[in-house]
C-alpha cells in the first residue's frame, strides 16, 4: 500500500469512528485505540506534508488562531421565525396558510434548541465555511472553530448535492456545561451563567484549541440551496442524517394543527429529560413547493412558526435567606424554599446571586416568590407576589458578618459579590483551599476526600495544605469512620503526591485565575517557583497569554507572608516546586527574548510541534506580525498578507530548515 493510500485509509477510518461516537452515540473502539490511530495519522501527515488535507480528522484538535473574524454575507438569508404562544395563534397561522396554498398541508414538528445559530457551507462534500447567524444577512466566519466540533462532518457520505448550506444550532449539553463550571470554580473563577451564552461565546474564541476542549455539539435542521432534489422538509432531515449530519431524532410529520399540539404538549414535559436546553417547537409546512408559494414576509418565512414553551415557573414560599462561603471567601445568598415541583425536579433552594439582586426584587423572608428554570441549571427567583406579602414583613438586610466565622464582610469597588476577608480563620475557606489542593486535577491525593478534609480542619489537625504533610497515622485513626487501613491509605496518598509535577502543584496552590492551562504556561516559562515568585508584574504580562488580571493575582498571592511560609514548608517536605529534569532536558534558552510568528505548512514537523519547539527553547510565539516580531517562520502556502506585512516591517524570514538548524536539529 502506498503512503498516500495509508493516510487516506486512516483518515477514512477516523472519520467513521468520529461519526459513530459523536453523531450516532455508538462508538465501536475505545478512546485509547482512537488516540493511537490519530497519533499514527498525525505522524504520517507531519512526515508527508504533500498529502495535506484541510479537512483531515487531525485538525479537530484545533490550534488555528483567528484574531479578527471576517464578515461574510450569507448567500441565503438566515431568517428569524415568528413566535406563537397558544393554540389560537397556531390556528390563525393555519387559516393564513390555507388562503395562500391549495391542497392538503402537512407540518413537520421539530424541537427548538437553545444555542447559537450557524450556517455551514459544503462543496463537493467538504466543509468550506461556517458562518454565525449575525444579523441574518451577514455573520462572522468561524470555520476554524467549528471544525473542532466533532459532530460537524468535515467530509460527507452518500449522495449529497454538489453545493448547499445547512443550518443548525451549536449547543452545549447540560452535562458538559456543569463540568466546565466545576472546573472554573476549581480555578477560583466565576461560573458561566447559562449554556446558550457559553456556546455562543465559544464560537468567537480566538484560539480554536480552546474551542476543541469544550464539549459543544452541532444539531442540524435545515438545508438551503438550489436544485437539491429534495421535495419535503421531512425528507431533507432524513437526507442530512444520511450524509453524516447530527439531526435530532425528535421530529414528526403531522397532518393537522391538532397533531402539532399533541407534539407540543408531549415535549413540553418530556424535554426536561433531554441532554440539551430547548425552548419551543418549530413547525414548518412540509412540502417545499408549498413553502415556495408561501414565501417570506420582510422578516420571517410564512411557512414556519416557532411555538414557545412557557418558561417553567412556580410560586412557593421563601422560608429563609442563608449565606454560603466559597473557597475564595465569596458570599452567595441562597433562598431556602418550601419544596416545590419544577421542571421535573423538586426545588428546595434557589440562587439569589448577590445583594443588588435581592434589593432590586425586594425579596423578603416569608414572601411568596416565583421560581423559574430558564437556561440556568440552578433555579432562580424572578419575582415576588406582593399581593400575598405578610403584613409583618421586614425588608431584607444583607448579612454584614460572615455566617461561618463572624468576620465583617467586605465588598470591593465595582464587584457585586461580598467577601469574607478572614481567609485564615474561616472554616469553609480553609477547608475549600485544601479540598482544591487535593482534587483530582491538582495533587490528586488518593484516600482523602472533601468530607475528611473538613473533619481534619474541624478537629484542628490541619489549617493549611502544608499541614497535610505533617499528618501521622496515629493522629488520623481516632477520626470518625477512620479505620487503620484507610488511615494508612491516606498517609500513603499524601506521600505519593510529592511526585506530582510542578505545574499541577502550582495549580493546586489555589491562586485566583491560575487554572490548569495558566499554571502550565507559567511553569514552562519560569521553570522554578523561585523564578516565578521573583517575577514582576511587567515580566508576567510579557509571558504569552498572561494578562494583567492573572499577573496581579500572582503578585498579590506571593506577596502574602503566610503564602511564602507555605511554599517554604512544601519545599522542605519535598513537594515538586520546579520543573522535572526530563521536561527540562528538552528545554533551552537558545531563543530567549525572541518572538516568532509561524505561518504556512511545514514538512519535518507539524505547526504545533514547531510552536512547542520555540517555547521549549525559550522563544515566544505570537499569532500576528508586529514590530516586536523577531522572525517569521515561513512554511508552504503562507498567507500573502503576512508576507507583505513582514516585508514592510523588515522582519527576517526563516525557512523550516533554517529554524531547525538554529536550535540544533
Binding site for Zn ion (CB under 5 A): 402, 404-405, 407, 420, 422, 426
- 556 vs 559: CA distance, rounded Å: 5
Extended beta strands in 352-387, E state: 368-373, 380-384
Query: Nearest approach, Cβ of 420 to Zn ion (angstroms)?
Result: 3
Question: DSSP string covering 192-244, please?
Answer: PS-HHHHHHHHTT-SBHHHHHHS--EEEEEEEE-SS----BHHHHHHHHHHTT
- 588 vs 503: CA distance, rounded Å: 18
Query: Nearest approach, Cβ of 324 to Zn ion (angstroms)?
Result: 11
Question: DSSP string covering 453-487, please?
Answer: HHHHHHTTS-SSGGGGGG--HHHHTTSTT--HHHH
Residue with smaller CB distance to Zn ion, 426 or 506 = 426
Q: Which residues of 280-316 are buried (b: 16+ CB within 10 A; e: fewer)?
A: bbbbbbbbbebbeebeeeeebbbbbbbbebeebebeb
Catalytic residue among 39, 67, 99, 112: 112
**Which of helix, strand or coil describes residue 438?**
helix
Nine-digit cell at 60? 479537530
Query: Nearest approach, Cβ of 403 to Zn ion (angstroms)?
Result: 8
Residue with smaller CB distance to Zn ion, 200 or 422 = 422
- 262 vs 247: CA distance, rounded Å: 22
Query: Nearest approach, Cβ of 555 to Zn ion (angstroms)?
Result: 24
Residue with smaller CB distance to Zn ion, 118 or 405 = 405
Residue with smaller CB distance to Zn ion, 232 or 422 = 422
Residue 268's Cβ-side half-sphere holds a number of Cα atoms within 13 Å equal to 15
Residue with smaller CB distance to Zn ion, 383 or 403 = 403
CB 77 within 8 A of CB 222: no
Residue with smaller CB distance to Zn ion, 68 or 400 = 400
Task: Give how far the C-alpha of residue 509 lies from the chain's centroid of Cα atoms, to the nearest Å.
Answer: 23
Backbone angles phi, psi at 553, to 5 degrees: -65, -40
Residue 501's Cβ-side half-sphere holds a number of Cα atoms within 13 Å equal to 14
Hunting for cell 422578516 — which residue is that? 299
Hunting for cell 462532518 — which residue is that? 153
Q: Which residues of 506-526 are buried (b: 16+ CB within 10 A; e: fewer)?
A: bbbbbbbbbbbebbbbbbbbb
Residue with smaller CB distance to Zn ion, 27 or 421 = 421
Query: Nearest approach, Cβ of 406 to Zn ion (angstroms)?
Result: 7
Residue with smaller CB distance to Zn ion, 422 or 576 = 422
Query: Nearest approach, Cβ of 323 to Zn ion (angstroms)?
Result: 10
Residue with smaller CB distance to Zn ion, 323 or 596 = 323
Query: Nearest approach, Cβ of 424 to Zn ion (angstroms)?
Result: 10
Residue with smaller CB distance to Zn ion, 257 or 426 = 426
Nine-digit cell at 610? 514547531
Q: Which residues of 531-561 are buried (b: 16+ CB within 10 A; e: fewer)?
A: ebbebeeebbeebbebeeebbebbeebbeee
> Which residue from 420, 396, 406, 407 is spatially nearest to 320, judged by alpha carbons?
396
**Angle at Cα 534 formed by Cα 530 and Cα 537, nearest 5°?**
135
> Which residue from 461, 458, 464, 460 is spatially nearest to 438, judged by alpha carbons?
464
> Measured in Å, how far apart are the chain's first and last C-alpha atoms?
31
Q: Establish whether 520 is a catalytic residue.
A: no
- 631-634 and 620-622 beta bridge pairing: unpaired
Question: Is the four-CA dihedral 291, 293, 299, 304 of positive or negative sign?
Answer: negative
Residue 203's Cβ-side half-sphere holds a number of Cα atoms within 13 Å equal to 29
Task: Give how far the C-alpha of residue 511 lies from the chain's centroid of Cα atoms, to the nearest Å.
Answer: 21
Q: Where in the sequence numbering do the catalytic residues fall?
A: 112
Amino acid at each position: 500500500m502506498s503512503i498516500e493510500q495509508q493516510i487516506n485509509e486512516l483518515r477514512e477510518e477516523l472519520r467513521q469512528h468520529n461519526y459513530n461516537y459523536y453523531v450516532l452515540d455508538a462508538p465501536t473502539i475505545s478512546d485509547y485505540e482512537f488516540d493511537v490511530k490519530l497519533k499514527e495519522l498525525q505522524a504520517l501527515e507531519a512526515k508527508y506534508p504533500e498529502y495535506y488535507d484541510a479537512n483531515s480528522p487531525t485538525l479537530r484538535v484545533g490550534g488555528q488562531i483567528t484574531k479578527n473574524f471576517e464578515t461574510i454575507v450569507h448567500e441565503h438569508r438566515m431568517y428569524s421565525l415568528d413566535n406563537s404562544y397558544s393554540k389560537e395563534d397556531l390556528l390563525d397561522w393555519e387559516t393564513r396558510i390555507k388562503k395562500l396554498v391549495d391542497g392538503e398541508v402537512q407540518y413537520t414538528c421539530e424541537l427548538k434548541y437553545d444555542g447559537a445559530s450557524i450556517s455551514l457551507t459544503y462543496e463537493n462534500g467538504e466543509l468550506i465555511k461556517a458562518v454565525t447567524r449575525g444579523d441574518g444577512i451577514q455573520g462572522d466566519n468561524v470555520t476554524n472553530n467549528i471544525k473542532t466540533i466533532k459532530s460537524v462532518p468535515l467530509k460527507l457520505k452518500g449522495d449529497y448535492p454538489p453545493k448547499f448550506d445547512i443550518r443548525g444550532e451549536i449547543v452545549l449539553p447540560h452535562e458538559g456545561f456543569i463540568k466546565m463550571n466545576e472546573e472554573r470554580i476549581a480555578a477560583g473563577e466565576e461560573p458561566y451563567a447559562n449554556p446558550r451564552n457559553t456556546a455562543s461565546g465559544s464560537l468567537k474564541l480566538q484560539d480554536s484549541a480552546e474551542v476543541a476542549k469544550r464539549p459543544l455539539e452541532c444539531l442540524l435542521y435545515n438545508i438551503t440551496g438550489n436544485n437539491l432534489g429534495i421535495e419535503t422538509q421531512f425528507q431533507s432531515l432524513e437526507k442530512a442524517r444520511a450524509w453524516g449530519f447530527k439531526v435530532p431524532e425528535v421530529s414528526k410529520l403531522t397532518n393537522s394543527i391538532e397533531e402539532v399540539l399533541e407534539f407540543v404538549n408531549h415535549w413540553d414535559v418530556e424535554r426536561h429529560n433531554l441532554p440539551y436546553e430547548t425552548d419551543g417547537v418549530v413547525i414548518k409546512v412540509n412540502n417545499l413547493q408549498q413553502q415556495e408559494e408561501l414565501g417570506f414576509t420582510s422578516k420571517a418565512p410564512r411557512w414556519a412558526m416557532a411555538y414557545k414553551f412557557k418558561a417553567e415557573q412556580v410560586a412557593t414560599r421563601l422560608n429563609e435567606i442563608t449565606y454560603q462561603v466559597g473557597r475564595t471567601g465569596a458570599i452567595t445568598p441562597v433562598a431556602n424554599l418550601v419544596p416545590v415541583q419544577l421542571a421535573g425536579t423538586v426545588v428546595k433552594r434557589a440562587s439569589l446571586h448577590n445583594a443588588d439582586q435581592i434589593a432590586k426584587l425586594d425579596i423578603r423572608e416569608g414572601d411568596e416568590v416565583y421560581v423559574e428554570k430558564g437556561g440556568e441549571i440552578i433555579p432562580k427567583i424572578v419575582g415576588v407576589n406582593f399581593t400575598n406579602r405578610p403584613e409583618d414583613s421586614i425588608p431584607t438586610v444583607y448579612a454584614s458578618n460572615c455566617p461561618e466565622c463572624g468576620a465583617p464582610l467586605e465588598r470591593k469597588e465595582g464587584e457585586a459579590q461580598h467577601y469574607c476577608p478572614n481567609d485564615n480563620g474561616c472554616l469553609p475557606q480553609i477547608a475549600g483551599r485544601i479540598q482544591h489542593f487535593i482534587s483530582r486535577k491538582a495533587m490528586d491525593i488518593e484516600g482523602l476526600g472533601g468530607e475528611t478534609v473538613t473533619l481534619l480542619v474541624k478537629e484542628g489537625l490541619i489549617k493549611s495544605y502544608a499541614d497535610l504533610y505533617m499528618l501521622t497515622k496515629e493522629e488520623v485513626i481516632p477520626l470518625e469512620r477512620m479505620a487503620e487501613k484507610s488511615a494508612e491509605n491516606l498517609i500513603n496518598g499524601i506521600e505519593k503526591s510529592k511526585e506530582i509535577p510542578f505545574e499541577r502543584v502550582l495549580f493546586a496552590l489555589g491562586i485566583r485565575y491560575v487554572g490548569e492551562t495558566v499554571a502550565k504556561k507559567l511553569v514552562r516559562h519560569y521553570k522554578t517557583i523561585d523564578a516565578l515568585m521573583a517575577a514582576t508584574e511587567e515580566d508576567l504580562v510579557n509571558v504569552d497569554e498572561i494578562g494583567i488580571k492573572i499577573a496581579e493575582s500572582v503578585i498579590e498571592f506571593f506577596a502574602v507572608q503566610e503564602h511564602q511560609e507555605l511554599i517554604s514548608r512544601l519545599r522542605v517536605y519535598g513537594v515538586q516546586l520546579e520543573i522535572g529534569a526530563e521536561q527540562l532536558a528538552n528545554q533551552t534558552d537558545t531563543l530567549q527574548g525572541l518572538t516568532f510568528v509561524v505561518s504556512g505548512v511545514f514538512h519535518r514537523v507539524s505547526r504545533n510541534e514547531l510552536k512547542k519547539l520555540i517555547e521549549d527553547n525559550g522563544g515566544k510565539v505570537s499569532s500576528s506580525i508586529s514590530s516586536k516580531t523577531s522572525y517569521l517562520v515561513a512554511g508552504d502556502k503562507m498567507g500573502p498578507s503576512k508576507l507583505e506585512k513582514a516585508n514592510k516591517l523588515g522582519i527576517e524570514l526563516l525557512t523550516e530548515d533554517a529554524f531547525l538548524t538554529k536550535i540544533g536539529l
